[in-house]
Structure 1
Amino acid sequence: MGFALDEKSYEGEIITKVVEEVKQVLNRLSQTSLNPSECLGKSPHKHPKSQESSWGIEHRLKQLEEKLSLGFEETTRIIGVVGMPGIGKTTLARKLYEKLKNEFLNHVLIPDIHEISKEHGLDSLPTMLLEDLLNVKDPNIETLQDAHQPYKDQLLKTKVLLVFDNVTSRKQLDALLGNRDWIKQGSKIVIAKSDKSLLQSFVDYTYEVPRLTDRDALQHFIHYAFDNDQEGDHALNFSKLSKDFVRYTKGNPLALKILGAELLGQDETHWELTLAALAQQHKSPPGQSTTKMLHNVWRGSYDGLSQQQKDTLLDIACFRSLDETYITSLLDSDGLKNEVEDLVNKFMINIYAGKIEMHDSLYMLSKELGQEATATDGKGRHRLWHHHAITNVLEKNKGASNVRAIFLDLSDITRKMSFHSHAFAKMSYLRYLKIYSSQCPQECDRDIKLNFPEGLQLPLNEVRCLHWLKFPLKEVPQDFSPENLVDLKLPYSNIERVWEDNKEASKLKWVNLNHSRKLITLSGLGKAQNLQELNLEGCTALTTLHVDMENSSDASGQKPNGHFD
């Protein structure tokens, strides 16, 4: 676009022409429906592929068809399709619909039911269904419960194929299907959702979409990470890196697609830096995550959680891959054991070999969300991981009342630091305090890096987990209340006794004081009647257990397991 100007040109007319031309260009651009995210971080000639990958689809589609067709031809089947976010539930449901719809006179696919009901209300769901099934406009619906009754006779004449995607509540299913007496025998219904607990007693079978096999996951990733003419020889040069990305995503198709689109057209150095950023996410300071591209895999499911479920998920992220009994013991102080089961049903976590596991990309998101989390009660839910953020709070006390958890790796601290005695005094909602070293036991005997020359105040009563490597004082301060304490670890510390007097510690199950060479008595633990494990290895100054400790046992009557030097 250009205009020639000379001294005879009329400036107003030229400006008018320019404005009109710009309007036309902008109008054409607005009609192209460009996705802004597709224009970022790519070379000018590399765009994410519009053609979807089909790797792994056929096998899963065959499995789902088999479950849907079980029984006689005239058997009505309702199948639930469940799985973690990004696993391909929507894709699979749509593919199944496209494959089977021509076998039915009437068929309906309703996408993203959660968003439809959220925007238009539950009443809109049976309206959409009946409009599509009967080809009527504005069907007569008097009540939500009896929405199908005026058309029951007509509906019973024809078998139907119904596919409902992204169902998030039982109320949505009730609105769509009512009492189901209008469904003709031989109909097939598929319900895709992320919470398998909502389908109990409602469906004939629940199909859990499996992760992609290593082979399919690699091919799925290659489809998005390379141009069509590069998928052969060029992909071989990135073979190891490609497999590393596949391993990181654990066969999640959406995560692989997002990463592939991000890496398309980029050089090997960019690939290596992206992989390193994923692996070192826990070291990234707040607000500097380089992996936000994966957040969309989980963000919708996270936003749909209740406040208690969000708190539980973000707390679990603090103790990922640890024993289920241990984590639920920490959470049980709030009576939140059922929340763990809910998160399993929603595929946000899973329990494998007795340990609670979480997908790496969700773990990454949870740690980032945890740093700034808030709740409807106005209380902060901050979980701090980065040493700069932690030492800043300890030094300035700014935002201390919002801190829920501190996880400080002493190997990140390069010099000795001294703090005021009141550094923790305002952290009244602190639940998890862990000061550790990722280089221990190799360097456990190094000098103490955190010092409190004027003593230490710990007026805390919400703490469930207190871990402090090389605890610098002779005892835990008198103002600390262990009434909610479940796990106490003070290895390689200067303590001579745990705390003064016998304090109420009925929830305390695990105590580890190993290599606290100045420890001379356990008298303060006399009321820890449910203690299950006591580690005193290397406590060379301790010659005998306190009489109350010798008589203690847990609720099952078992003596605590001991580790002694």
Structure 2
Amino acid sequence: MRDRAATRPDTKHFEEAHQTSSPLMAASSELKGNYDVFLSFRGMDVRNNFLGHLYAALDQKGIYTYIDSEELQKGDCIKPALMKAIEESCIAIIIFSEDYASSPWCLEEVEKIMECKEQRGLTVFPVFYKVDPREVRTPRGSYRKAIKGHERKYGRDSEKVKRWKKALFDTGSLSGWDLKDKVEADLINKIVREISMRLDRKLLHVAKHPVGIHRQVVKLESMLNLESRDDVLMIGLWGQGGVGKTTLAKALYNDIFKGFEASCFLANVCETSKDSKDLVHLQEKLLSKILVGKELTMFSVDGGINLMQHRLCHKRVLLVLDNVNDIKQLNALAGGREWFGKGSIIIITTRDNHLLTVHGIDEDHIYEVKTLVNWEALELFNKHAFVRSKEIVIRRDLVDSALRYANGLPLALEVLGSFLCGRREQEWESALNKLAKKDNEKEIFLDIACFFKGRSIEYIIDVLNTCDFDTTIGVEVLVEKSLITKERKTVQMHDLIQLMGMNIVKQECHDDPGRRSRIWLCEDVCDVLSEEMVSFGGLNTDFTLLL
């Protein structure tokens, strides 16, 4: 009797345990609001003047704003609809006018707004409309008179009034806008620019299935010491291609970016900085994201360095430099800690551990991103392999074979799972046999992944035929299996599939390249040749060199 498992073998309990309780997923959903801005105010005079103009300016910019349609003076308790609107907003603006604190309803709003600020990261801005901020904090003037009235009504030791006073103090202490003698139109323009900038700082897409990410984010946050404002911290995320460095950096960025004055995620730096002109463009992009609304032009990398040092040295920023492969990139984009304000955090992802050391990052702040543990690999594979095939039955030994082949590498699990998705058991068997057991196609596949991607079909056939391969048929089989493609007489391979092939070779001997079947990195070639020459034993002829 064969061992069978339907659709998602042995994973039901994994999904129930991890989908419903993932803090990472919960955090993402909490930060999504139905409204961009919630406006809290008091009185028809405010509504018909300042508030009306502010609402119109926000609406003109496409900023979805909640404003209560009723006068806020009916009853003592804030209605549930307003509570819900506050909870579903990204930003709250409180317009403190002279008569604001006389309304218990408004004070309930302030209390709720500050509660949401603490619990879910709601951004709060006070506007002091013809009142001094000290009147709100202390309270003084009309605010003191209003609080005294509430104490007479609810009792001097009323817990409710104490909560209101604390909410007023906390809100009045926040950075906001004071109208005073300013022109209202100018202040409204300034508020709309700030709100637009805040809303532009949105969550990054992490992954369709962020399996195994949350536990690593927790580890990283323990390294960051987010409460400290005394120094600038640089950390490195290091690991092999396809292991999830970028995904992890995005998740970490999403978790912490709201705690910084400004933030920037520069994706795939190595691909977008082929020469010095590209680096200048990246410097401009970095500054434009951090200094919103500033049009800055640079003409050289050195000029960009000087400008970044001057403009960023007093700002607490979060900067992610993703996929860095050259020290020149780091020198141009984050050359030193003194470039940034105290409390800033710079995160660098790379495949080159030594690059981080050269840049002065100590071992305690270098995090190795490793492959997924067994149950995580199974969960991720199943999410890609069985997403549209609820009724298909697949033997567990075939699933295990695919998992062994991917060896915990997230991108390999995604590619292989997607390739097998919707296929029947016989097709799984055939595909896995072709990929892992039939030497002819397997060896050709690995050679193309390590050496020949982008080379002409004629050249590949000529070289591999000298190794006694049936290359013509082997290439056709790989095309049929969607592992390679033919484009303009060249052989191409998706980056993810190439990474999977390279990873298969690396796993032959993780720590000793000389014991692998293929070597394609120059540094590995030099190391192996040096070791072989010193050993006097001659070169190991069991591996292939790309020279």
- TM-score normalised by length of structure 2: 0.46
**Greater helix content:** 2
Higher relative contact order (CA 8 A, sep 6+): 2
- TM-score normalised by length of structure 1: 0.44
